[in-house]
A = this chain, B = another copy of it.
Amino acid sequence: MFRRRYPPVASMPGTYILSPDSLKPKIHAMSYSAESLKEFDVKDLSLIPALVSEFHVTWLDVQGLGDRTVLDKLAEIFSLHKLAMADVVNVPQRPKVESYDGYLFLITRMAEKRPDTDQDVEQVSMFLGKNFVLTFQENYGDVLDPLRERIRNEKGPIRHEGAGYLAYSILDAVIDGFFPVLEELGEDLATLEQDALDAPTPQIMQESNQARKTLLILRRVIWPQRDAINSLLRDPHPLISDLVRVYLRDCHDHCLQIADVIESYREIVGSITNTYLSAVSNRTNEIMKVLTIMASIFIPLTFIAGIYGMNFEYMPELHFRYAYPILLLVMAVAGIGMVLYFRRQGWIGSDKDKE
């Protein structure tokens, strides 16, 4: 459930632990101004300072956190605070925005598929400086390829605006990535709800618990995300221009929409549980009815048959010529009487209404 990488208790602040199966970092650079674009995989970290100072905006995207030397070198180049670097590596952290001297540090989390665990909501850590954006991701691959394509094709204002706009664009893409995840989840909930009514198997309980946990994870991501963006909107920061602020307002709006949907889904999961429990009760009810009807009809009849199976010497009825057919008739009447009684009680016949 909860599984955050954390250093040993009481170790030096800013300590981070590399997971043994962390991937080797791949660093991708996109440096651009309105007119020019330079894109390449960074092999030699010492080239970076020149690159950053030469271009209007440089986006360094680090995928894989498995090499302490690389991380330390980057921290040194951009003078990143060791607490921030620890938050980059000790994933997952709560989404947040922190202002440091000369740069903003943003943590956001990205859902590419419906999360089963906190791990599926991959953390994207972002440093936003005057003319650079530095992103860190734990795994290779992300939802940002269309954004890279936009930079290459000079679509939209992205090549004309500064690093703040790029940071916004990344944030926006990460947040909008929750919509398809929620859509898929919503369809599964609709199916689950129908099944809870039609075919209440214990699996429904399991799946609704799973959905509840997925929603918990998404919620734990989106609420702090909203707060983080809100703090950017409220407190003007030199790295966030007024233009970017308008766009961030849109981002904030999307967070609210996602939060709304999550809360609605949580209520629906609750009503699925209720529906399932009531369906089980109903089943028990139906089973009891069958048992009661069968027992109520045949146990008394068996008793009557039992009486005439007794071996008393002096039982005058036994010798009466029409006793047997008369008794059969009496039994039939009693049986039919019971059936009619149960039908009047709505226990028979009403079965169809209820299905």
Contact = CB atoms under 8 A, between A and B. Distances in A.
Interface of A: 1-4, 6-13, 81, 83, 87, 93-94, 96, 98, 143-147, 150, 155-156, 158, 169, 172-173, 176-177, 179-180, 182-183, 186-187, 189-190, 193, 197, 201-202, 205-206, 209, 212-213, 216, 220, 224, 246-247, 249-250, 253, 256-257, 260-261, 264-265, 267-268, 271, 273-285, 287-292, 294-296, 298-303, 305-315, 317-319, 321-324, 327-328, 331, 347, 353-354
Nearest to A11: B146
12 contacts: A9-B143, A83-B246, A96-B253, A201-B354, A216-B264, A277-B278, A287-B289, A288-B292, A305-B306, A309-B310, A312-B318, A313-B318
Contacts of A284: 281, 284-285, 288
Contacts of A311: 308-311, 315, 318
Contacts of A87: 250, 253
Total copies of this chain within the assembly: 5
A173 B9 CA distance: 6
A292 B158 CA distance: 71
A307 to B, nearest CB: 5
